[in-house]
Chains A and B, each alone.
Chain A
């Protein structure tokens, strides 16, 4: 465990910001109102948005209510409806009507902001850390000695959770500016694992958004709600909520909160590394950097650093339900659900148990930190061009000497940042044996069946699923050879289990690791020694992990 960059939890940015949470809340509300009025400047536009919000909220309350929802939910919206009727500009004086509409907007935004806001309690953080450390220590007592921040091969399997990449630089930069960590998203456990990993390399705690549905669980709610998680509700797609959420995150980034954003939006349903990002929240990061420059002279303007993070799992807790969800979305009537996969609460414990007690591991692979334009940074956080010369990124917001907001320009910059993040995901993806074996098995099966469409392939009968062992081995070898080449070109990273082991060991380990957790085995050897699968959906899911590299050409 590395020493904390800021020794006292009380001095962490997240705690200092928590102390100012009333101010953050007020700023969020007033800024959201300002922005919303900018987007919908006339009374009729505002009224329309309020009506739309009311309509959407009523549908949500009727169709999808959760335990975590406050009891006065329907009362609140009934009152809003009544007030909206009373504020009708056709019935009352226009100025009066405007005032009433503004009050309505204010009240709704205030309710949302109060729901979203997260808290941080240093004592709770300390308590949770002790708890987790003991929990892990019990599971795997030799583990903690081996935790390192540097990616290197190990002859023993003691490194269960590896944080790879420029750890020292990240630690340094966390003192010089605001760090935005942008991870791939495979599992609901990501935040907990990243939180644990970041704490382990001595980073102060990050803020992050957690789906409101997770707060249905009392245990989660008890911990996460006090460890910096703010709540985001994916049911609420109304414009007023989205504006409030965006402004809340922007206000926190401006206040200097190190933050985790999942740029993919939700968990990757298909198991692939994200290639399309949701740029909304990322856009607030761009905006925040511009506002820093507007408010401060260049040399004093706080900088924002973006750090992509690729998580490598051997198996994913929710794999079964994620892939079914994905198939339902893409296949529609082509995909009929025969069974509903269950993820029980004990799944989480099983996941940790399998991960930390058996020979399987997790990697958090950091990309090089960059500024919001994707430029490299020196240790002091100065932006560098490709020759290593310092550049003043303030000027990217400048047109003919004038620094001005330009939404369209910032949208394109955000797209460019998104491309850099995806590049980081792919380059720093650490390949495990399990990724290789599932990729090869699925591709070979596809080839054997003459490239049928996905849904036909997934319905392949058990006897037709068999893949010849020798073919399989030869293809794994070819893919690994290519992975080595890509690794040399800096396009991907290989886990020590690939670089230090013989081919047959890699295959055995790969099959073993991906199967530890699942009841129906995604990949296995049958009596004849050939490769087959008990669950093609899962095989497909795990195979997708290596999509996007063009590796199928080598099979």
Chain B
């Protein structure tokens, strides 16, 4: 494919061919050509010939490639959508190809944690400082020369986007320019786009909600209904906001799509990996058993550990997170955990807004 467009319409790129990456590529393809990067040559081949990936059809405007140089040469706007574990390495790999006129909007809800060699975030003796935690936009700024950075976040379950159901997303960036470009590339009759300048808060909201998805799964596993779920979502939001404030974020974004919106979607969707982990815990399985039978560690497990450690160093009160942590790492039974939370003296409602 040659890109000799005389207008300012350039192809956009999606980096990472996971299920969300595929969904985003299909969204972008509605507005123009998309270069779709996978590091695996065989995957590229299959996408280009069979026109299917992760169970999703591939839009005709999409072409897969594993040539990063081609992407860097032809695209100005890039959407990295790789897991948070692989994000820093991906940026290191991309860095030599990137130029200052590239813009990046990442779609990854996760943290990159600076740890001593040999340690993992699940280790009990690891403590965390706010400065050890990198959001994906900070990783981009640190590893590459790209400065115009944004993120896409919100209640965007890959499956539903793949099914072409209507959805809304938040594009966050300090740069109007990045939001403008991202909006033009993404907006369609099935995706409503909102903007936010507070990228840090939007990124935090996207990650911190994962613990609550796990707790929601546990409640579901015990067969509890909507009263308990609403209790969890609302008080969970409070803990998320308090933690984020302690990390230096402002609160506004948490009341929007990327905050409460994403939290509701995650806690009420039984299909997500986090929710499933919670359900299995409620059925009496231990963390070891769950990890042994999963292909990758659910993001929520890491988020619980990160949130708990952060709450410890910042002194933020987070009873729900502390309790989930005990279930995951200290063998507390889910039923007892619920019992504990029912006895806890919460005090005033909506105190996180005071």
Q: Which residues on A are within 8 Å of B, measured CB to CB?
A: 373, 375, 385-387, 389, 391-396, 398-402, 406, 408-409, 412-413, 415-416
A393 touching B175, Cβ below 8 Å: no
A406 touching B95, Cβ below 8 Å: no
Given A385-B145, A396-B147, A400-B76, A409-B100 contact (CB < 8 Å): no
B145 touching A408, Cβ below 8 Å: no
A400 and B32 CA atoms in complex are apart in Å by: 15
Given A399-B101, A400-B8, A400-B76, A406-B177 contact (CB < 8 Å): yes
**What are the nearest 8 A-B pairs in CB distance?**
A395-B101, A395-B100, A398-B101, A396-B100, A408-B176, A412-B174, A385-B145, A400-B8
B24 vs chain A, min Cβ distance (A)? 20
A387 touching B96, Cβ below 8 Å: yes
**Extra pairs beyond A387-B96, A400-B101, A415-B174 (17, CB < 8 Å):** A386-B143, A389-B96, A392-B99, A393-B100, A395-B99, A395-B100, A398-B101, A399-B177, A400-B8, A401-B101, A406-B176, A408-B177, A409-B148, A409-B176, A409-B177, A412-B174, A416-B147
Contact digits for B65-82, partner A, Cβ 8 Å, 1 yes 0 no: 000000000001000000
Residue of A nearest to B131 (CB): A550
B227 vs chain A, min Cβ distance (A)? 42
B100 touching A408, Cβ below 8 Å: no
Contact of B95 among A387, A402, A409, A413 (CB under 8 A): A387
The yes or no answer to B10 lying at the interface (CB within 8 A) is yes
Contact of A408 among B10, B96, B144, B175 (CB under 8 A): B175
A400 touching B100, Cβ below 8 Å: no
A442 vs chain B, min Cβ distance (A)? 23
Residue of A nearest to B178 (CB): A409
Contacts of B8 in A (CB 8 A): 400, 402
Contacts of A412 in B (CB 8 A): 174-175
A409 and B176 CA atoms in complex are apart in Å by: 7
Contacts of B76 in A (CB 8 A): 399-400
Contacts of B142 in A (CB 8 A): 386
Contact of B10 among A400, A409, A413 (CB under 8 A): A400
B175 touching A391, Cβ below 8 Å: no
Assign chain B's interface to a size class.
Answer: 10 to 19
Contact digits for B162-200, partner A, Cβ 8 Å, 1 yes 0 no: 000000000000111100010000000000000000000
A-B contact count (CB 8 A): 50
B318 vs chain A, min Cβ distance (A)? 21
Contact digits for B128-153, partner A, Cβ 8 Å, 1 yes 0 no: 00000000000000111101100000
Contacts of A389 in B (CB 8 A): 96
B312 vs chain A, min Cβ distance (A)? 14
A400 vs chain B, min Cβ distance (A)? 5
B177 touching A392, Cβ below 8 Å: no
A490 vs chain B, min Cβ distance (A)? 14
Contacts of A413 in B (CB 8 A): 147
A409 and B10 CA atoms in complex are apart in Å by: 21
Interface of A is mostly: mixed
A398 and B148 CA atoms in complex are apart in Å by: 11
Contacts of A386 in B (CB 8 A): 142-143
B147 touching A373, Cβ below 8 Å: yes
A554 vs chain B, min Cβ distance (A)? 14
Residue of B nearest to A408 (CB): B176
A375 and B144 CA atoms in complex are apart in Å by: 11
A196 vs chain B, min Cβ distance (A)? 37
B71 vs chain A, min Cβ distance (A)? 15
Residue of B nearest to A394 (CB): B100
Contacts of A394 in B (CB 8 A): 100
Given A387-B95, A400-B8, A400-B76, A392-B175 contact (CB < 8 Å): no
Q: Offer 24 A-B interface pairs, CB within 8 angstroms, sorted by A.
A: A373-B147, A385-B95, A386-B142, A387-B95, A391-B100, A392-B100, A394-B100, A395-B99, A395-B100, A395-B101, A396-B147, A398-B100, A399-B101, A399-B177, A400-B101, A401-B101, A402-B8, A406-B177, A409-B148, A409-B177, A412-B174, A412-B175, A415-B174, A416-B147
A358 and B187 CA atoms in complex are apart in Å by: 70
Contact of A409 among B99, B143, B144, B175 (CB under 8 A): B175
A406 and B147 CA atoms in complex are apart in Å by: 15
A496 and B148 CA atoms in complex are apart in Å by: 42
Contact digits for B1-23, partner A, Cβ 8 Å, 1 yes 0 no: 00000001010000000000000
Contacts of A409 in B (CB 8 A): 148, 175-177
Contacts of A406 in B (CB 8 A): 176-177
A415 and B175 CA atoms in complex are apart in Å by: 11
Contacts of A373 in B (CB 8 A): 100, 147
A409 and B100 CA atoms in complex are apart in Å by: 13
Residue of B nearest to A404 (CB): B177
Contact of A391 among B145, B174, B181 (CB under 8 A): B145
Residue of A nearest to B10 (CB): A400
B31 vs chain A, min Cβ distance (A)? 15
A394 and B175 CA atoms in complex are apart in Å by: 17
Contacts of B145 in A (CB 8 A): 375, 385, 391
Contacts of A375 in B (CB 8 A): 145
B3 vs chain A, min Cβ distance (A)? 12
B177 vs chain A, min Cβ distance (A)? 5
A165 vs chain B, min Cβ distance (A)? 24
A354 vs chain B, min Cβ distance (A)? 39
Contacts of A402 in B (CB 8 A): 8
B199 vs chain A, min Cβ distance (A)? 11
Contacts of B143 in A (CB 8 A): 386
A371 vs chain B, min Cβ distance (A)? 11
Contacts of A401 in B (CB 8 A): 101
Contacts of B96 in A (CB 8 A): 387, 389
A401 and B8 CA atoms in complex are apart in Å by: 9
Contacts of A400 in B (CB 8 A): 8, 10, 76, 101
B336 vs chain A, min Cβ distance (A)? 35
Residue of B nearest to A416 (CB): B147
Contacts of B181 in A (CB 8 A): 399
Contacts of B10 in A (CB 8 A): 400
B109 vs chain A, min Cβ distance (A)? 23
Q: Which B residues between 86 and 132 are near A, CB-CB below 8 angstroms?
A: 95-96, 99-101
Residue of A nearest to B181 (CB): A399
A395 and B102 CA atoms in complex are apart in Å by: 9
A391 and B143 CA atoms in complex are apart in Å by: 14
A396 touching B177, Cβ below 8 Å: no
Contacts of A408 in B (CB 8 A): 175-177
Residue of A nearest to B8 (CB): A400
A402 and B8 CA atoms in complex are apart in Å by: 10
A311 and B174 CA atoms in complex are apart in Å by: 32
Residue of A nearest to B103 (CB): A399
Contacts of A416 in B (CB 8 A): 147
A300 vs chain B, min Cβ distance (A)? 19
A448 vs chain B, min Cβ distance (A)? 22
A517 and B177 CA atoms in complex are apart in Å by: 53
A412 vs chain B, min Cβ distance (A)? 5
A394 and B99 CA atoms in complex are apart in Å by: 10
A346 and B176 CA atoms in complex are apart in Å by: 53
A492 vs chain B, min Cβ distance (A)? 15
A419 vs chain B, min Cβ distance (A)? 10
A201 vs chain B, min Cβ distance (A)? 31
Residue of B nearest to A389 (CB): B96
Contacts of B99 in A (CB 8 A): 391-392, 395
B178 vs chain A, min Cβ distance (A)? 9
Residue of A nearest to B145 (CB): A385
Residue of A nearest to B7 (CB): A400
B74 vs chain A, min Cβ distance (A)? 12
A387 and B101 CA atoms in complex are apart in Å by: 18
A395 and B148 CA atoms in complex are apart in Å by: 11
